[in-house]
Amino acid sequence: MTAADPTAPVPETPRAARGPHAPDVPEDPRAPDVPEGPDVPELPDVPELPDGPGGFAEAGPGPLVLVTSRSFSSGALDLNRRLREAGCRVVRGAPSHDPAELAGPLREAVAWIAGTGPVTAAHLAAAPRLRIVARYGVGVDAVDRAAAARLGILVTNTPGANTRAVADHTLALLLAAVRGVALGNRRIREGDWRPWRSRELAGATVGVVGLGRVGREVTARLTGFGCRVLGHDPLLGEPALRELGVTPVPFAELPRRCDIVTLHAPGGRTLVTASWLATAASPLILVNTARGDLVDEAALAEALRAGRLAAYAADTLHAEHGGAGGPLLAEDLRDRVILTPHVAAQTVEAVDRMGAAAVDSVLAVLAGRTPAHLVADRPG
């Protein structure tokens, strides 16, 4: 692989379309017609749920459970009913966790089934009766666990409930980046049916950062595609990585040795920086279904423009909880920044598993039992 020339014009298609055997072919009269795909049934919309508190507010003596996860109880299971049948009142609150909007329900809430929004010390201090924050999902980086521990509030999550869903979605984003799906989708709408060529996944070298639940499922899928998988996980030894079929590689070496890198580590620190990206031997494809704060978005935008990064495909952005905007939403990057709005875990199966596990934790605490999946306190 040769180093990218930063002075070269920024290519329009992902790296996989630009290797020595894959020149861009803007107009090839001999290109075969694209065969029609199978009929795909229309995907059901996730039902719109009320954002504000009060949507499901019920008067009564039962313990109040605040739910701020937008997709809670929108799968096949009626989990609102399960909570009510257990004697609880259910109040839906703003998924953004806007403190002013949540102030009312937090004053009364005994349990909080929380989505990905921040759960701060201020939220917790405003909730004198709160006994549990049941994170609906895996990541607890947005929860101030030290504050929760000080106040004696338990924190749980739902590990494994969405692993397969997130791994599937990772492959969807990865393949979309490799095959230029966003580019094709836009061009067709503009009446532009020019084909281009991509590379196959078999034979690609993929770096997996974080070999926990999702990283392992992703590795299994990549292995099925015939990829060579390199991996980095500071908490797993080399023998454990080799047992997973992964070649252990220091994080710093991944850009030099990989065609694609996919992130599956916990959020809370910036791993992908300008200096890390600068070591890519050839334009890299980066996939992130973990957390937006794992990457320096300004550095990614710069690397995309300079041709060091071929594409960035992500389910999560810094702007997620702060409204629109951010360097990766620039118009000139639209075909090479492929985004989904934190929906990797949004399958019917995963929504049911996450919701049921969160309700199990809440009901265990209300019954005086220790919930499964207690998250260890964070020191400080």
Ligand X SMILES: NC(=O)c1ccc[n+]([C@@H]2O[C@H](COP(=O)([O-])OP(=O)(O)OC[C@H]3O[C@@H](n4cnc5c(N)ncnc54)[C@H](O)[C@@H]3O)[C@@H](O)[C@H]2O)c1
Tell me: does residue 265 bind ligand X (CB under 6 A). Answer: yes
The residue within the footprint of ligand X, chosen from 90, 143, 214, 363 (CB under 6 A), is 214
Binding mask of the shown chain, residues 333 to 362, with x at each position contacting ligand X by CB under 6 A: ---------x-xx-----------------
Token output for 217: 């499922």
CA count, 13 A, side-chain hemisphere, 339? 17
Piece of 2-10, 29-37, 91-99, 230-238 that binds ligand X (CB under 6 A) = 230-238
Q: Judged by CB under 6 A, does residue 373 bind ligand X?
A: no
Of the two residues 232 and 353, which places its CB atom closer to ligand X in the complex?
Answer: 232
Min dist CB 342 to ligand X, Å, is 5
In sign, the C-alpha dihedral spanning 240, 244, 245, 248 is negative
- Assess whether 320 carries a catalytic annotation: yes
Q: Packing angle between helix 163-179 and helix 181-189, nearest 10 degrees?
A: 60
Distance CA 48, CA 156 (A): 26
**How many Å apart are CA 343 and CA 345, to the nearest integer?**
5
Which residues within the stretch 44-73 sit at the binding site for ligand X (CB under 6 A)?
none
**CA–CA dist 212, 283 (Å, integer):** 27
Instruction: Classify 311 as helix, strand or coil.
Output: strand
214 vs 227, beta carbon nearer ligand X? 214
Least distance (Å) between residue 137 CB and ligand X: 6
Identify which of residues 121 and 252 has a Cβ nearer to ligand X in the complex: 252
Q: Binding mask 9-48 vs ligand X (x if CB under 6 A, - otherwise)?
A: ----------------------------------------
Cβ of residue 326: shortest distance to ligand X, in angstroms? 17
Site for ligand X in 138-157 (CB under 6 A): 138-139
How many residues bind ligand X (CB under 6 A)? The answer is 29
Sheet containing 260-263: give its strands across: 247-248, 228-232, 205-209, 260-263, 284-288, 309-314, 337-339
DSSP state of 329: G
What separation in angstroms does the CA of 67 have from each of 78, 165, 285? 14, 22, 37
Does position 75 interact with ligand X (CB under 6 A)? The reply is no
Query: Could you say which of 18, 97, 164, 264 contacts ligand X (CB under 6 A)?
Result: 264
Does residue 164 touch ligand X according to CB under 6 A?
A: no
Comparing CB distances to ligand X, the nearer of 83 and 172 is 172
239 touching ligand X, by CB under 6 A: no
Distances (CA, A) of 294 to 113, 117, 262, 369: 25, 16, 11, 35
CB of 61 or CB of 234, closer to ligand X: 234
CB of 278 to ligand X, least distance (A): 19
- Interface with ligand X in residues 106-135 (CB under 6 A): none
Exposure string over 125-152, b if 16+ CB within 10 A, otherwise e = ebbeebbbbbbbbbebbbbbbebbbeee
Pick out residues in 194-213 that bind ligand X (CB under 6 A).
Answer: 209-213
Decide whether 6 or 322 has the Cβ nearer to ligand X: 322
Q: Which of 213, 228, 342, 373 is catalytic?
A: 342
Site map (CB under 6 A) of ligand X, residues 281-320, x = contact? --------xxx-----------------------xx----
Catalytic residue among 179, 197, 291, 373: 291
E strands in 42-137: 64-67, 89-92, 109-114, 132-135
Map 149-190 to HEC letters. HHHCCEEECCCCCCHHHHHHHHHHHHHHHHHCHHHHHHHHHC
Determine which one of 108, 320, 321, 334 is catalytic: 320
At residue 105, φ and ψ (nearest 5 deg) are -60, -30
Task: Determine whether 187 is exposed, middle or buried from the number of CB atoms within 10 Å of its CB (0-12, 13-18, 19+).
Answer: middle
Positions touching ligand X (CB under 6 A) are: 137-139, 162-163, 166, 209-215, 232-235, 264-267, 289-291, 315-316, 342, 344-345
Give the catalytic positions in this structure: 291, 320, 342
